[in-house]
Amino acid sequence: MEYFYARLFTVSPSVRALFPTSMMAQRERMFAALRQLVWSLESEPQCAELLARLGRQHRRFGVLEKHYEAFFTALRDTVEQYLGSDWTPETSSAWQGALDYFAAGMRAGAAAAQDSPPWWVAEIVSHELRSPGVAVLRLRTEQPFPYRAGQYVPVQVTRWPRTWRPYSVATAPGAGRLLELHVRAVPGGLVSNTLVYHSDVGDCVLLGAAEGAMSLTPSDRDLLCLAGGTGLAPIKAIVEQAITADQAASHQRNITLFFGARQQFDLYDLEDLQLLEAACSSLRVIPVLSEQPGYGGLTGTLPDAVGKQSPFENTEAYICGPPAMVRQSAAALAGSIPAGHIQHDPVP
C-alpha cells in the first residue's frame, strides 16, 4: 500500500489533496477494501453492492470521474511490481478485467447518488460532557438529512480535514429533530478527541451519507435491546422509533433495554433513558455493571446478564457495542431467538 500511494501521488500529484495528512489508517482501509472486493468476485450481487457503496462513499472525499483512471492504473502497476515474474499475460488480463469491473461499479454507485449532496453541514447546538471521555452532541443540519434509526454517519471536523469517523445517531428520524451523537474519546483518536474536548456550541462539522444495515423490523414481536457503552446510540434510536410506531398503531409491545457499562459513572445516558421509561409503560431499562459489584442493579457482563434472563419468546433482538460483547451476546441469545431475528451491524 505504501508503494501504491507513492506511485499514485507521483504520477498524479493533485490527487494527494483528497487524502488525510496521515496515511496509516487510509492504507489499512484500502487494503481491507481491496481484499474484500477480490474475495467477493465469486458473488456478483455482493460485489456489485460493495462497489456501489464505495462509489457513494468516495463522493464525500471529492473523488471525481477523472480520478478513477489514475487510481486503478496505479493499482494495476503495483500488483505487477509485486508479482514480478509471475505477472503473465493471463494474469494481466485477469487483473485488468477485474479493475475495469471495479471502476464501472463504483462509477455507477456514484452516479446513482447524484441527487443527494456528497456531504451535509451540521451545526453543534448542544454539547454535554456526560462522563470522563464521553460527550453527547446534538446537531442541526442546514438541509434535511435522510437516515434510518440504527444507522451511523461519517463525521469530519474542521481541525482534521479529509479524516472521517463513523458515529451512530441516537435519535429516531423526525421532521425538525436534532441529530444526537454519543462520542467516546479514544487514545490518539483525531476526530473523537476533537468532538469530546475541543468542540463547542456553534461549531460546524460535515456529515457523510448515513450507512449501516441495522434497522427496526416492522412486526408485533417484543424487543430485546442490548447496548454496551456508546453502542447505546443506535439502540436508543431504535427504541424511540419502536415507541412512536406502537403509539401510531395503538399497539404496545414489551421493550427491554439492557444498558451495560463498567462503572456507574459510565452509564452516561441513564437519566435520559429513565425519562423515556417513565413516559412509556412498555419500556423497561436495566443497567448492568461489570466492575461494580455493590451496585443496586445487575452486575456482570451483558452476555451473562441476558443469558440468565432467557429464554425469550416471540422476540427480536438488537445488539450494539464492543465486538466481543456483540459476538457473545448473539451466541447467548441463539438458543431462544432465531438468527433472523437478531440484528447487529457487521462485527470487525
Among the candidates 112, 134, 163, a domain finishes at 112
Rounded to the nearest integer, the mean pLDDT of the chain is: 93
Same domain (yes/no): 298, 279: yes
For position 55, what pLDDT does the model report? 95
Q: Is the pLDDT of residue 132 over 80?
A: yes
Same domain (yes/no): 261, 332: yes
Task: Show the domain range for 163.
Answer: 120-207
3-state class of 243 per DSSP? helix
For position 315, what pLDDT does the model report? 94
Residue 151 lies in a domain: yes
CATH (domain of 336): 3.40.50.80
Among the candidates 207, 238, 255, a domain finishes at 207
pLDDT band at residue 216, thresholds of 50, 70 and 90?
A: very high
Same domain (yes/no): 333, 231: yes
Among the candidates 112, 135, 150, a domain finishes at 112
pLDDT band at residue 124, thresholds of 50, 70 and 90?
A: very high
Asked if residues 221 and 316 have their Cβ atoms less than 8 Å apart, the reply is yes
Average pLDDT over residues 145-160: 96
Same domain (yes/no): 230, 332: yes
Residue 214 lies in a domain: no
Same domain (yes/no): 337, 244: yes
Distance in angstroms (rounded) separating the CA atoms of residues 194 and 207: 15
- pTM equals 0.90
Average pLDDT over residues 72-90: 96
Same domain (yes/no): 12, 102: yes
In the chain, the amino acid numbered 52 is A
Distance in angstroms (rounded) separating the CA atoms of residues 276 and 249: 19
Same domain (yes/no): 186, 136: yes
The pLDDT > 90 percentage for the chain reads 83
Distance in angstroms (rounded) separating the CA atoms of residues 137 and 196: 9
Same domain (yes/no): 50, 74: yes
* Set of cell numbers at residue 235: 439502540
Number of domains in the chain: 3
* Set of cell numbers at residue 297: 442493579
For position 348, what pLDDT does the model report? 56
Q: Is the pLDDT of residue 298 over 90?
A: no
Same domain (yes/no): 296, 316: yes
The predicted-structure confidence for 56-71, as pLDDT tens digits, reads as follows 999 999 999 899 999 9
pLDDT band at residue 347, thresholds of 50, 70 and 90?
A: low
Q: Is the pLDDT of residue 147 over 90?
A: yes
Please give the residue that has the higher pLDDT: either 177 or 155: 155
Instruction: Write the CA distances from 44 to 34, 37, 50, 62, 105, integer angstroms.
Output: 15, 10, 10, 27, 11
Same domain (yes/no): 297, 258: yes
Distance in angstroms (rounded) separating the CA atoms of residues 326 and 238: 17
Residue 169 lies in a domain: yes
Residue 217 lies in a domain: no
* Set of cell numbers at residue 284: 423497561
Listed in sequence order, the residues at least 6 apart from 67 whose beta carbon sits closer than 8 Å to its beta carbon are 12, 15, 18
CATH (domain of 50): 1.10.490.10
For position 221, what pLDDT does the model report? 93
Asked if residues 162 and 152 have their Cβ atoms less than 8 Å apart, the reply is no
Q: Is the pLDDT of residue 309 over 90?
A: no
Distance in angstroms (rounded) separating the CA atoms of residues 139 and 143: 12
Please give the residue that has the higher pLDDT: either 311 or 11: 11
Same domain (yes/no): 127, 102: no
pLDDT band at residue 345, thresholds of 50, 70 and 90?
A: confident
Q: Is the pLDDT of residue 293 over 80?
A: no
Residue 213 lies in a domain: no
The predicted-structure confidence for 95-110, as pLDDT tens digits, reads as follows 999 999 999 999 999 9
Residue 348 lies in a domain: no
Same domain (yes/no): 227, 322: yes
How large is the angle between the packed helices 24-40 and 44-57, nearest 10 degrees? 150
Residue 85 lies in a domain: yes
Asked if residues 232 and 130 have their Cβ atoms less than 8 Å apart, the reply is no
Residue 235 lies in a domain: yes
Asked if residues 277 and 293 have their Cβ atoms less than 8 Å apart, the reply is no
CATH (domain of 164): 2.40.30.10
Distance in angstroms (rounded) separating the CA atoms of residues 325 and 151: 19
The predicted-structure confidence for 224-274, as pLDDT tens digits, reads as follows 999 999 999 999 999 999 999 988 888 889 999 999 999 999 999 999 999
